[in-house]
Amino acid sequence: MTSKFARFLMCTVFAVSVAALAQNSALPAAPSAAANNAAAPVINATGTKLGTINVEQAIFATNEGQRDFEALSKKLEPKQTELKGQNDEVEALKKQLNTQSDKLNDDSRATLVKQIEQKQKSLERQVQDARDDAQSQQNEIAQRILQKMGPMLVKYAADNGYGVLIDTSNPWPNGPVMWSGPAVDITKSVVDLYNAQSGVAAPAARPAAPRPTTPSATKPAPKAPATTQPK
């Protein structure tokens, strides 16, 4: 999925105290879920531990995230194929212009150049529209998962003595954390808890690509026995 589309950008810096998070969720709420979020539980957090969580990674790693992002990837494949066909057409016209330019008269050359420019501009607009559409749908999936993950994360942090959680989605220097060890990272624990509560089954494992067969090493031919020269 992420190899085909630009990964969504998390717009929230998740570096707040658990107490503040419990009071107002401190998480971006999807408009359609705003009413449900109004009744978020208030938890009195008294923990003092500091933890880190890669929110972006957590969203992608959940069973629900893997399922929905993979479904989105397949949904957008026809558009990718269409755009690739248009790009191939533009490249073919450019090649034609380069190879036949000296054989074309001025009018034919101008017509071909104009055709290339029009198709190129149309392609660029469609690519940008497709990119924006994919980004929007990715954000909708991420927002929906994050909306459900937020209250669960608050409770997990409070139950386990955390007073502060810091998001490490953006690496230093764009993010707040220069370095942190795995001992304070709770990403996997949160993903496991989310999967258990969501009830979404893990995606089926893709079959491993067949390993190339390596021919067995050929044994060297036996050496002929040394002959004894007569004296």
Q: Is the pTM of this model over 0.75?
A: no
- Do 22 and 153 form a contact (C-beta atoms < 8 A)? no
How do residues 144-175 score in pLDDT, each as one tens digit?
Answer: 999 999 999 999 999 999 999 999 999 999 88
Q: How many helices (H) and strands (E) does the chain have?
A: 6, 3
pLDDT of residue 24: 38
How do residues 205-228 score in pLDDT, each as one tens digit?
Answer: 766 655 555 444 444 444 444 444
What does each C-alpha distance from 213 to 27, 210, 216, 220, 221 come to in angstroms?
A: 51, 9, 9, 21, 24
How do residues 53-86 score in pLDDT, each as one tens digit?
Answer: 999 999 999 999 999 999 999 999 999 999 999 9
Spatial distance between the Cα atoms of 44 and 93, rounded to a whole number of angstroms:
66
Spatial distance between the Cα atoms of 155 and 186, rounded to a whole number of angstroms:
13
How do residues 30-49 score in pLDDT, each as one tens digit?
Answer: 333 333 443 445 556 677 89
Coil vs helix vs strand at 231: coil
